[in-house]
């Protein structure tokens, strides 16, 4: 077993891991150490890895103590052929251009996806970074006056044929579903695995805080977003080919700056953890920005 080296990336979240030997299975000591760091830091970064989709999926499941699927299972492929790519150059690439507001994937669902990963297949330099904001840190550092105002409140997250697009602009990728999707959670939300409290509101998916007037709702969300996404609270990952980034979708939100179709290639392979949505009922989102045919 190679000794893992852990380097903190940001006071609130993130750790770069050196010394991982990508093999299936990993030994118990390595798994235990990776799980510990993941639960503490929420975002793991591995550089210069040469890995296939099977190892990426194996690691994602293993980090949260779930049994990995058999190699080649391709759980994300119910609606597509081949790996899921976030790309401005590959045919059918997801989110090919534009800007993404901060969000958690499937935040609108009763049981959102627990863990997400991206692997740098081909990344030209310089590349548009992925941004992370910790909801755990957001709650832990929330000013007392603001905390008192939101304790006991609930928020509705979802899509009703549009994004809430709080603070968005023409560069933002809007999305919607044919049928409305939403769920209600406490603003002070308990992480289902670690038990830590998270500040569960997001620019992209939170539609409203229940029980407030339209004006009060907008003002309170603006205050919460200003705290949660303050520049000093955001981790920025600068992509290179061979990077693997894995994050806790219950603990952190992610977003990105504006990607251009005419810019350098930015192709990332996306793999997530256990399917928490019913694949027979799950709708595919529709996006406002798609690559031209």
pLDDT digits (tens, 9 = 90+) for 154-201: 999 987 755 555 556 778 877 666 777 889 999 999 999 999 999 999
Buried/exposed 188-206: b ≥16 CB within 10 Å, e otherwise = bbebeebebbbbbbbbbbb
Residue 76: partners with Cβ closer than 8 Å, 6 or more residues away: 83, 84, 270, 271, 272
- Helix or strand run (H / E) with residue 253: strand 252-259
**Look-up: residue for tokens 């940001």?**
10
Between 168 and 101, where is the model more confident?
A: 101
| Confidence label for 78 from pLDDT (cuts 50, 70 and 90) | very low
Report pLDDT for 70. 78
Question: Residue 266: beta bridge partners?
Answer: 123
**Look-up: residue for tokens 């709080």?**
166
Give the closest residue to 231 by CA, choosing from 132, 146, 129: 132
Q: Is the pLDDT of residue 54 over 70?
A: yes
Q: What is the rounded average pLDDT for all residues in the chain?
A: 89
- Helix or strand run (H / E) with residue 225: helix 214-228
Domains of the chain (ranges plus CATH)? 5-97+112-123+236-275 (3.60.130.10)
Between 97 and 253, where is the model more confident?
A: 253
pLDDT digits (tens, 9 = 90+) for 196-216: 999 999 998 999 999 999 999
Would you give the distance in Å from CA 248 to the centre of its chain?
A: 7
Token pair, residue 120, equals 């740098």
- Helix or strand run (H / E) with residue 228: helix 214-228
């Amino acid at each position: 077993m190679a000794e893992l080296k852990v380097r903190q990336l940001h006071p609130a979240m993130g750790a770069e891991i050196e010394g991982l030997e990508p093999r299936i299975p990993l030994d118990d000591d390595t798994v235990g150490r990776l799980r510990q760091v993941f639960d503490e830091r929420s975002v793991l970064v591995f550089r210069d890895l040469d890995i296939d989709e099977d190892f990426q999926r194996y690691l994602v499941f293993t980090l949260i103590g779930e049994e990995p699927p058999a190699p080649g299972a391709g759980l994300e492929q119910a609606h597509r052929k081949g790996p899921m790519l976030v790309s401005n150059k590959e045919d059918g690439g997801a989110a090919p251009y534009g800007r993404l507001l901060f969000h958690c994937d499937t935040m609108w669902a009763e049981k959102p996806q627990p863990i997400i990963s991206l692997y740098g297949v081909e990344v030209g330099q310089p590349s548009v970074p992925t941004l992370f904001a910790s909801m755990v840190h957001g709650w832990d550092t929330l000013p007392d006056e603001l905390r008192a105002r939101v304790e006991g409140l609930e928020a509705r997250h979802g899509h009703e044929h549009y994004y809430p697009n709080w603070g968005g602009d023409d560069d933002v990728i809007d999305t919607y579903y044919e049928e409305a999707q939403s769920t209600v959670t406490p603003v002070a939300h308990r992480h289902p695995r670690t038990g830590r409290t998270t500040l569960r509101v997001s620019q992209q998916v939170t539609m409203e805080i229940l029980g407030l007037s339209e004006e009060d709702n907008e003002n309170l969300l603006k205050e919460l977003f200003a705290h949660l996404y303050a520049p000093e609270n955001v981790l920025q990952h600068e992509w290179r080919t061979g990077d693997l980034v894995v994050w806790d979708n219950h603990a952190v939100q992610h977003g990105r700056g504006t990607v251009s179709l005419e810019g350098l290639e930015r192709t990332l392979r996306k793999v997530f953890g256990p399917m928490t949505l019913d694949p027979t009922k799950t709708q595919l989102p529709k996006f406002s920005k798609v690559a031209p045919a």
